[in-house]
Structure 1
Amino acid sequence: MISKKITLLFLSVTLLFTSCNSDDDNNGNESLGDYENGIIVSNEGNFGQGNASITYTSDDLSIIENNVFSAVNGRALGDVAQSIAFNDDLAYIVLNVSNAIEIVNRYTFESVATIDTGLNNPRHIAFANGKGYVTNWGDGGVATDDYVAVIDATTNTMSSQSIAVEEGPEKIVANGNTVYVAHQGGYGQNNVISVINAATDVVSTTITVGDVPNSLRLDSDGDLWVLAGGTPSWTGSETGGKLSKIDSSDYSVTSIDFAGTEHPSFLALENGTLYYYLSGSVYKMDEDDTVLPTSAEITGLSFYGMEVKDNVLYGVDALDYTSNGMLLSYSLSSNEVTNFANTGIIPGGVYFN
């Protein structure tokens, strides 16, 4: 009798333990939403037509869903989806012409809030010290009205305070309580990086780099890489691009110059390797290289933006800029295209979710 009771007790405990483990496993594997673990593409849409959109694809581009925001929320996204940034479980979609930011759950794309005040020609957003920092051109033809708007990221409301900055604030990244802003120049040209202290929301210094900086990347040491495209030829005062590394400890700058007619863009960084786009080709170099590469990795491209993840290059092609574009993937081991996906109109940003 005692033996049977012990056996029954053992079986009961085993079943209970198995049941608990099964529940824990299900909870651990529960999906956060339909758009988890994939790629998000922001599609600008046609200027003034309010047809900006979001595309989702799996990492291998085998699963594709267009018009994600509209499908989930039953309304249009807005006019010109300029950029997206993630903060915890939220995605912030910056709408340039709508002068708004749509905030959604990054995994379900259900709307959480809309910010439509305090913005004037917004471009990009980054997060530091519980706040969102949004670059604004203001009137692109006026050099004195540019600013960085400050958002309370807890309440997703606009702060009454904004930070006046030099002309043409564009890309923005944050490292701890330090926020870096690249100034392309709005409708003109500029050549500085503003450094904002997120504890005080004051510009602590500006750093001179190449003309028209278009890309910012932080490396594993927290140092900032800046790719400048150079002043275009149509200005009558053409300058070549410049790749600069800014030491985060003292803001000293080391640079490599491109030729006077070379205008690189779309800097990417993974595992100590830099990638950039120039004249329809992608080049790569090590962080420690002191000269630019002389031969391209991939040629014959027409990218409007690109990113690198897990040794795969993802590039967007806007095609004719009026109809749907494409997202393409390339193996950086073979430098061959591996897949493609149709996107919305004028795909511009690639984001890993």
Structure 2
Amino acid sequence: MKMMNKVFFLAITALFFVSCSNDDDSQPEYVPAAFEKGILVTNEGPFGNGSGNITFISEDYSTVTQNIYRTVNGTELGNIVQSMGFQDDNAYIVVNNSNKIMIANRYSFEAVDSIKTGINNPRYFMGTDGNRGYVTNWGDPNDNGDDFVAVVDLRNNTIAATIPVAFGPERMVTYNNKIYVAHQGGYGQNNLISVISGTNLENTITVGDVPNSMVVKGSSLFVLCGGNPSYTGNETAGSLVEIDLANGQVLNTYTFGTTEHPTNLTMDGNSFFYSLDGNVYKLNSSSISLPGNDIIAGFFYTMVAKDGLLYATDADDFASRGSLKIYDLSTNQQIQDFQVGIVPGGVYFNE
């Protein structure tokens, strides 16, 4: 950030104290000049109506600002704020039901541009360099044959190509210039990882049913698969699948019990963390033995481990404002609890 912005930030924060209100629409909020250091939480918002938003929590936890995009720009993001990704100085905010990606400066949250054509039911964005990004799209969620990954030209924020893929593409990770896409299956279930190179679908890898989260450790991709839920009439066990990124081969599959459906795989140091049946479990990533140790109780919507802390969101009843809870992983004790927006679905860091 430029020195002028930093000076303005100090000046304005000396004048105003920003905190959460019980109703973020009823009281005006004063926004710091920059969101350079801290935590960003994407809040999906109410399903089918209203708008999602983004909450900012300062690095020292002293300042919490709700609905920063609307406050800075005077407009709502739309319905549903599914996720967010970064590339250089920009934040790419994926607004699912509104079929658009809103682009803002990640430090000031001033609007930069938007992408409203060439995408359909977008889910997640990943930038790979200053020229190219990728967006997973469900298309019509009732049509399993129209799903695709859009390739974004980041120089002009247009869709440069679309790559047809199997149904239900969701989260992505990148390794060695390739994109790995988990196919959770949309409103159904799937069991694939797509491997994309440039603008081409290189191959697919079969994993367990309903892959929902991934991490890269060394030269391996670990994929947490939830398994088919019981309501499908074909319930299957969750699993943790290790893939050799050098050749795309499955190295190991670790299987949970038939009625166990884990989610939210994340990693910090040499440990994996995931959610299962109202508990957070910890695994030694070098010597995996399921289920590992349950360390924290709580039903969390999403969670991210980073630098010895666990950032976990609680969506409460999915109609009221949720919360972000922070745990010290050295003691497994909660150290912070912040009110955020309705259905907090993503945790990101401005550094």
* TM-score (structure 1 length as normaliser): 0.88
Is the Cα contact below 8 Å between 2:45 and 2:80 reproduced in 1? Answer: yes
CA distance in 1, matches of 2:219, 2:93: 26
Deviations 1:226-258 (CA, angstroms, capped at 9, x unpaired):
111000000011011111121110112112111
Q: What value does the CA root-mean-square deviation take over the aligned residues?
A: 1.8
Corresponding position of 1:89? 89
Is the Cα contact below 8 Å between 1:127 and 1:174 reproduced in 2? Answer: no
Q: How does 1:187-202 map to 2 (within 5 A)?
A: 187-198=187-198, 201-202=199-200
**How far off its partner does 1:222 sit?**
4.1
Corresponding position of 2:58? 58
What amino acid does structure 1 have at the position aligned with 2:71?
A: A
**How far off its partner does 1:175 sit?**
2.1
What amino acid does structure 1 have at the position aligned with 2:148?
A: Y
Q: Alignment partner of 1:215: what SS?
A: strand
**How far off its partner does 1:295 sit?**
3.2
Gaps of 5+ in 2: 10-32
**How far off its partner does 1:127 sit?**
2.1
CA distance in 2, matches of 1:155, 1:39: 28
Q: How does 1:91-170 map to 2 (within 5 A)?
A: 91-128=91-128, 130-159=131-160, 161-170=161-170
CA distance in 2, matches of 1:152, 1:100: 15
Which stretch of structure 1 is more off in the superposition, 92-101 or 122-131?
Answer: 122-131
Q: Alignment partner of 2:340: what SS?
A: strand
Q: Alignment partner of 2:126: what SS?
A: strand
CA change 1:325–1:174 in 2 (3 A) is: same
Corresponding position of 2:280? 282
Q: Alignment partner of 1:114: what SS?
A: strand
CA distance in 2, matches of 1:96, 1:27: 36
What amino acid does structure 2 have at the position aligned with 1:175?
A: Y
CA distance in 1, matches of 2:8, 2:254: 45
Corresponding position of 1:17? none
What amino acid does structure 1 have at the position aligned with 2:271?
A: T
What amino acid does structure 1 have at the position aligned with 2:55?
A: T
CA distance in 2, matches of 1:314, 1:66: 18
CA distance in 2, matches of 1:31, 1:268: 36
The answer as to 2:214 corresponding to 1:227 is: no
**How far off its partner does 1:92 sit?**
0.5
CA distance in 1, matches of 2:148, 2:331: 44
CA distance in 2, matches of 1:27, 1:163: 43
**How far off its partner does 1:128 sit?**
2.6
CA distance in 2, matches of 1:31, 1:106: 17
| Number of equivalenced pairs | 324
**How far off its partner does 1:294 sit?**
4.4
Is the Cα contact below 8 Å between 1:217 and 1:226 reproduced in 2? Answer: yes
CA change 1:113–1:208 in 2 (3 A) is: same
The answer as to 2:344 corresponding to 1:343 is: no
CA distance in 2, matches of 1:311, 1:257: 27
**How far off its partner does 1:31 sit?**
8.8
Structure whose residues are more often helix by fraction: 1
The answer as to 2:213 corresponding to 1:212 is: no
One of 296, 299, 316 as aligned partner of 1:298: 296
Q: Alignment partner of 1:337: what SS?
A: strand
Is the Cα contact below 8 Å between 1:147 and 1:165 reproduced in 2? Answer: yes
**How far off its partner does 1:29 sit?**
7.5
What amino acid does structure 1 have at the position aligned with 2:310?
A: L
CA change 1:60–1:232 in 2 (3 A) is: farther
CA distance in 1, matches of 2:207, 2:59: 35
Is the Cα contact below 8 Å between 1:128 and 1:176 reproduced in 2? Answer: no
Deviations 1:5-32 (CA, angstroms, capped at 9, x unpaired):
xxxxxxxxxxxxxxxxxxxx96998799
CA distance in 2, matches of 1:153, 1:203: 20
Gaps of 5+ in 1: 1-24
Corresponding position of 1:243? 240
Identity across the alignment (%): 48
CA distance in 1, matches of 2:195, 2:143: 22
Q: Alignment partner of 2:295: what SS?
A: coil
Corresponding position of 1:13? none
